[in-house]
């Protein structure tokens, strides 16, 4: 077992990410050490690099120098509970508590891990992880979409948007997708029935009547979208903290605001994710993959408008 690993760290003083030699973390009771093969980048990671989430970063630094990366796939290096050493696993480390995984090894609570199906690659598992789980939460659990209903996805070309389009279509919905004009072909390929360019004004039309509106960029509000919802329809923002006023308003309305805040997962939820993918209701979408030494470029790509799907970091590429 290696004692030293390559890891990406964000200096407390700011600036570019740095690749350093760091001790391989040691799992505590209830944790599993994982050799990370592929990790994803998401919005919280980018916000962290930009100086956000300072309280959480202080907590992460107590465990080690790695402060970004909480969805990844790899090989279990130790055993615990239902996880056995050598097992191919996917992990979603608890968002607010860490630990983080933009490194060659990471420790994670055993309850945040699940075995990857034999036919699925590490890259596909990492690409599906949190965004696939979130799409299931939105389409199946919050909106409970059934055949014939209408869904609108605002921001349909990124990971969450693309997976929501896929899953809503698989559930029999008529899907309207909004994204940059350059992403029209990609979004239609995910299953959208109607495409609207983000630059269109207005994006939502007077006669729209959706059973679900998912706002991935978190630029809209329940008050601003309520007239475009069918009775019983639900508005869901990827960041509900941006629209706290919407929830009390929704209590008095036939239209609803859904609360979406997935801070952790369970083996059962991850198993459900893979079952959904195996049933072809979700297909991994990967925009670009970078090696660990290129992690700054990966972060920049994530923040670039027009990306199509997930941005990944391959721990073995470029090392």
pLDDT digit string, tens, across residues 206-242 = 999 999 999 999 888 888 899 999 999 999 998 866 6
CATH number, domain at 248?
3.40.50.720
* Averaged pLDDT for residues 244-258: 55
Do 108 and 143 belong to one domain? no
* Averaged pLDDT for residues 91-109: 88
CA atoms within 13 A on the CB side of 179: 29
* Averaged pLDDT for residues 138-142: 95
Choosing from 258, 276, 294, the residue where a domain stops is 258
pLDDT at 61: 83
Do 19 and 73 belong to one domain? yes
pLDDT digit string, tens, across residues 192-216 = 999 999 998 899 999 999 999 999 9
Residue 65 lies in domain: 4-116+285-314
By mean pLDDT, which of 7-11, 56-60, 200-204, 246-250 is the weakest?
246-250
Are 90 and 126 contacting, i.e. CB atoms less than 8 angstroms apart? yes
- Where does residue 164 rank: exposed (0-12), middle (13-18), buried (19+ CB within 10 A)? buried
pLDDT digit string, tens, across residues 58-74 = 888 877 899 899 899 99
Whether 92 is covered by a domain: the verdict is yes
Whether 124 is covered by a domain: the verdict is no
Whether 123 is covered by a domain: the verdict is no
Q: How many domains does the chain fold into? A: 2
CATH number, domain at 302?
3.90.180.10
Do 112 and 226 belong to one domain? no
Mean pLDDT of the chain: 90
pLDDT digit string, tens, across residues 260-307 = 777 788 999 999 999 999 999 999 999 999 999 999 999 999 988 889
* Averaged pLDDT for residues 20-29: 95
pLDDT band at 252 (very low <50, low <70, confident <90, very high): very low
pLDDT band at 251 (very low <50, low <70, confident <90, very high): very low
pLDDT at 68: 92
Choosing from 243, 258, 273, the residue where a domain stops is 258
Do 247 and 221 belong to one domain? yes
């Amino acid at each position: 077992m290696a004692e030293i690993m390559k890891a990406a760290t964000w200096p407390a003083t700011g600036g570019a990410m740095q690749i350093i030699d760091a001790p391989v973390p040691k799992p505590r009771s209830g944790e599993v050490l994982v050799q990370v093969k592929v990790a994803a980048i998401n919005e919280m990671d980018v916000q962290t690099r930009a100086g956000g989430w300072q309280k959480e970063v202080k907590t992460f630094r107590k465990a080690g120098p790695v402060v970004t990366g909480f969805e990844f796939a790899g090989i279990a290096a130790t055993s615990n509970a239902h996880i056995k050493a050598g097992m191919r696993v996917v992990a979603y480390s608890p968002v607010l508590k860490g630990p983080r995984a933009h490194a060659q090894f990471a420790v994670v609570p055993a309850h945040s891990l699940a075995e990857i199906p034999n036919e699925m690659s590490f890259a596909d598992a990492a690409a599906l992880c949190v965004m696939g789980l979130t799409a299931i939460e939105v389409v199946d659990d919050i909106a409970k979409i059934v055949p014939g209903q209408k869904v609108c996805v605002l921001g349909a070309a990124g990971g969450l948007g693309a997976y929501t389009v896929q899953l809503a279509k698989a559930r029999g919905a008529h899907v309207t997708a909004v994204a940059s004009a350059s992403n029209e072909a990609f979004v239609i390929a995910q299953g959208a029935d109607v495409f609207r360019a983000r630059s269109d004004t207005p994006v939502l039309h007077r006669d729209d009547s959706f059973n679900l509106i998912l706002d991935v960029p978190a630029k809209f509000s329940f008050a601003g979208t309520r007239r475009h919802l069918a009775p019983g329809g639900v508005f869901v923002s990827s960041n509900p903290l941006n629209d706290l006023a919407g929830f009390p308003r929704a209590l008095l309305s036939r239209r609803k605001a859904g609360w979406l805040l997935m801070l952790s997962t369970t083996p059962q939820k991850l198993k459900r994710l893979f079952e959904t993918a195996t049933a072809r209701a979700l297909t991994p979408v990967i925009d670009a993959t970078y090696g660990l030494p290129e992690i700054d470029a990966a972060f920049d790509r994530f923040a670039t408008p027009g990306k199509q799907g997930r941005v990944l970091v391959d721990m073995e590429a470029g090392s």
